[in-house]
């Protein structure tokens, strides 16, 4: 049997929900819409980072790299610049799903 991935690495994938999949988790969507900075702190806490680091392109890029999610710095930048609430909610939904799957 051929080894196709390095131990401890995840196979290339995508985020588990789309950028605009608000209905997948209405609670996270409301959290992001009504208290965006608090959602950022929640993400930073999940990733053991400073509360100020939970919003923006850097945390998204770190997460995407850690879980081998396809994309680029440019795509992270565009997602966060065009719709920061959507991008942040997508990241939180993905974290929550990975926690449920036991892979976070």
Tens place of pLDDT for every residue, the chain, 104 residues? Answer: 555 555 555 666 899 999 999 888 999 999 999 999 999 999 999 999 998 888 999 999 999 999 999 999 999 999 999 999 999 999 999 999 999 999 88
| Per-residue model confidence (pLDDT) at position 47 | 94
| Per-residue model confidence (pLDDT) at position 24 | 87
CA angle 23, 95, 18 (to 5 degrees): 40
Give Cα separations from 89 to 1, 2, 46, 85, 98 (angstroms).
39, 37, 14, 6, 14
Q: What is the pTM of this model?
A: 0.86
| Per-residue model confidence (pLDDT) at position 11 | 66
**With contact defined as beta carbons under 8 Å apart, do 55 and 63 qualify?**
no
Q: What residues have CB less than 8 Å from 88, skipping those under 6 apart?
A: 32, 36, 39, 40, 43, 54, 55, 80
């Amino acid at each position: 049997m051929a080894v196709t991935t390095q131990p401890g690495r995840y196979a290339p994938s995508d985020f588990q929900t789309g950028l605009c999949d608000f209905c997948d988790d209405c609670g996270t969507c409301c959290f992001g819409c009504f208290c965006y900075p608090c959602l950022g702190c929640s993400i930073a806490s999940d990733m053991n980072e400073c509360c100020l680091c939970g919003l923006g392109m850097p945390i998204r890029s770190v997460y995407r790299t850690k879980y081998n999610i396809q994309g680029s710095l440019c795509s992270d930048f565009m997602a966060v610049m065009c719709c920061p609430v959507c991008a942040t909610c997508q990241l939180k939904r993905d974290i929550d799903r990975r926690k449920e799957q036991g892979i976070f």
